[in-house]
Amino acid sequence: MKTTQIATILFIIIIIISSIAIGYSQNWFQTTTQPTPITDTNFTLEIFGNANMDGKIDEDDITHIQEIIDGTKSPTLFADANRDGVIDEKDIEFVKAIINGTATELHMLDGSKNEIKISLPANRIIIEYNQNAELVRILGVENLVVGVDSGIDPVKKLYFPDNADSITSVGSMSSPDYEKILNLKPTTLLVFSPGTGSSATTIDKAKYLPGVDVVYLGLYNPNVTNPEASNFIQGVMKAGYIFNQVPKATEYANWILSITSNINTKINTIPMDQRHTVLLTNSPTIGSARAYVAMDTLGQACILAGGINIANAPVSSTAFSVTLESEYIISQNPDYIFLHTVRYTYDGATNEPAQGMDATDPTGMKNVLQQYISQPAYNNLNAVKNNNIYMIAGDFRNNAMGGTLGAVYMAKILYPEIFTDLNPQTIHQEYITKFLRLNYNLDTNGVFLYPAITVNGDTLGIPNGAK
């Protein structure tokens, strides 16, 4: 064989080997288990008209209603689409209107499992807090927003760059300005929570806002271990029907389920006795110390990320957090501590440190972290000694990803050896660019995690070059 032929063959072999090496380093050959689409799971969409009790309203529901009318099928919970107490041809016509996007009303269960009626089209929206602000962008109906609560008002130009000047602040979600809301002539108020105690409830708001549909979607109640039973996924899908954006809602729900499925697959390979213990608590700048439990979005993020939360609430409790004495924390000696902070509160206050999408300087996060670490009682905690304490932004608890974004970052921090191919910022940027459709670059904007972590030489959690 001629020397030139040998050289050519060797060159080709080198190219092939190099390509394979690059491919593996870039995960070209990585296979992941694709989850079952939300509409094909055991998920039951809680909208009347979903006669066959699956995850969508379609022609199959028309067939099912007809079979109920014919006596060959038994009535189901959601078969009476128009809620007139009779399952008949009118329900078939009602379902056809839902499918065609011409329905003039919807009947559904809200995030508290209360039956509500929503008039359509819902084309003048007022929103409360981050979840709803981001959800309307995900669904592509941000141009319908006419008002926001005081927690979103400081960042409305970020979320609504094209129509911020025409959006009115209507006060805090706990004590809204009802007169101002009514003057905006909204069709729909998307509330953050059902409200309790001194905070205005959905019942209060409906009472003082005649003609306005007050809708609690339940976005703050994810369930990472059983997504089909998750109020969060329900809320996303219900919003798709309210705003006639079902394909976008379905795409987003499937994306979230894909992420959680892939994380779960890897976490399930870690024996329980090899998982890290975690304390999820609040920054000392936002009130007395609390620890977030499984009911809370952060608690759910911890479960998904494979952490063992040292804080627990009674099985029958509906609490999102509990008080932990320092003696208990010391006795549990957590491996990792995550300090959650909120920039703009439900009541319109602004807390330090600056963090989130409208921040670029992590100095405040650094200072608060140092303040926490300097507590003498915690000097001997494993998390302190091993520098495993992190400040996390409110976005990880209050955005429209149902704890999934927080879980992505937590999983990378807790088990970097398991999640070698996971880049949290890639997922974070996809969320912002593809689903929120914002012109926003995480390399140059945002303070979400301190200290930052590094993946393949890239700084994650703070802007590149920030310290």
The C-alpha atoms of residue 3 and residue 145 are separated, in whole angstroms, by 72
Q: What is the DSSP letter of 250?
A: H
Helix (H) or strand (E) holding 291: strand 291-292
The C-alpha atoms of residue 430 and residue 443 are separated, in whole angstroms, by 13
In terms of pLDDT, which residue wins out, 14 or 345? Answer: 345
Structure tokens at 239: 């919003």
CA dihedral (220, 272, 424, 26) positive or negative: negative
pLDDT band with cut points at 50, 70 and 90 for residue 196: confident
pTM beyond 0.95: no
Average pLDDT of the residues of the chain: 90
3-class DSSP assignment, residue 108 = strand
pLDDT band with cut points at 50, 70 and 90 for residue 346: confident
Structure tokens at 189: 């108020």
The C-alpha atoms of residue 372 and residue 389 are separated, in whole angstroms, by 9
Contacts of 263 (CB under 8 A, 6+ apart): 304, 305, 407, 408, 411
What is the set of domains in the chain, with CATH numbers?
A: 36-103 (1.10.1330.10), 110-243 (3.40.50.1980), 270-460 (3.40.50.1980)
For the cut 80, the answer to whether the pLDDT of residue 227 exceeds it is no
Q: Can you tell me the mean pLDDT for 48-55?
A: 97
Per the CB < 8 A criterion, the answer to whether 350 and 153 are in contact is no
In order of 129, 291, 341, 350, 405, the CA distances from 285 in angstroms are: 20, 14, 8, 11, 23
The pair phi, psi for residue 440, each rounded to 5°, is -150, 125
The pair phi, psi for residue 308, each rounded to 5°, is -100, 105
pLDDT in tens, 299-329: 999 999 999 999 988 767 788 889 888 899 9
Cβ-count burial of 428 within 10 angstroms (0-12 exposed, 13-18 middle, 19+ buried)?
A: buried
For the cut 90, the answer to whether the pLDDT of residue 186 exceeds it is yes
Per the CB < 8 A criterion, the answer to whether 250 and 240 are in contact is yes
